Every structure is written in structure tokens, then in C-alpha cells.
Amino acid sequence: MSHGVVPEGAARATRGGLAPIARALVGIGVSANAVTVAGLVLTVAGSWLLASGQPFAALVVLLIGTLGDTLDGAVARASGGGTKAGEVLDSTLDRVSDAALASAPLVLGARQGDPVLFAGALVLLVGSFLVPYIRAKAEILDLSASVGLAPREARIAIYLIGVAAWALSGSEGSFAVAVLITALLAAITSVQRLIHVMSALNERGS
């Protein structure tokens, strides 16, 4: 799977670092589904804090919550492999998490009368749904579409960097810039995946 702007070495190191935590969670009876649900709850809570203008508290909660997106897979592997039901739950709750993350700047932009931030958050919201939708549609057609400049983990990383910059500098503008960059990357990735799938279908004569 392509990690886009995230170096493969960094992605591999993250998975390796989470393996001991995953084994410990499995050892005390924590399931992958429980980690998935906990991650969603924390991500929604962190997004609410962000929309309320509390970037430092939001950063702490979001770092833990978004970690669940990777940790649940590690827990599934440590427990002998995930289930189809778990995959459906994970994919569905990921969409809710994406909506929560995009909604935070959407609320901020609306509350502060910032049309640029509002528009960027709206593009991010739509793009966050289009990227996985195109991949899922391609897989139904027996095609692979895990391509593009910025898959989900890359977009979340950039978003969190923006939250951290706001928390450390006190400047909300740094977060707005991260939202705009993430929105642009989501849009570009959507187009890349659509072109990839359309090209593959044309070659197949479908």
C-alpha cells in the first residue's frame, strides 16, 4: 500500500513501535474493536475541543485517538488476525472520525466568519470521503486504487502538525494553513485515484 508523502520507513517504524503495545493489550483481553471504538470517541472529543478553540487539549486527545487507527490493526494482528466484521466496523468508524476532524475547522470558520477556512474545511470533508470511496468502488470491480499523493495517514499527520503549531504558537493561522494543505492533498488524491481507476477500466475494456 502506498503511504504517499509519508516515508515508508516511518510507516514501518510506527507499526513496529506499536507491536509491543498491541501484544500487551491482547494480553489483558482488549479487542481490536474496542480499540477502534475508543479511538473514535477520543477523536470526536478532540475535534470538539478544537472547535471550541482549545488546541493544546485537543492535540493531546487527538494524538491518542488517531493512534487508535493504527493500533487497532496491530491488535488484530497480535490476536491472530482480524475479522470481516471488524474490518467493516473500522472502515465505518474511520469515516465518522474523518467527518469529526473536518467539522472542527468547519465550525471554527463559520463561527469566526472566515470564508477561506470554512471553504477549506468543506473541501477536506468531501475529499476525506471521496478518497476511500473511490478505493472501495475499485475493489468491488477487482481493481486496486491504494494510490495517490496523500492517503489517510498522511493527511491526518499534516492536520495534527497544524494543531500542534497552533497549540505551541498560539496562532490559529498555522492550523488554517494545515487544513488548506490537507484539503488540497485530499482533492488531488481523489483525482489521482479516479484517473487510475478509469485508466484501468479502459484498458480492461469495461
Just list the catalytic residues. 94
Please report the DSSP string for 71-137 in residue order: HHHHHHHHTT---HHHHHHHHHHHHHHHHHHHHHHHHHHHHHT-HHHHHHHHHHHHHHHHHHHHHHH
Long-range Cβ pairs for the range 161-167 (8 Å, 24+): 163/50, 163/55, 163/58, 163/59, 163/62, 164/59, 166/55, 167/55, 167/56, 167/58, 167/59
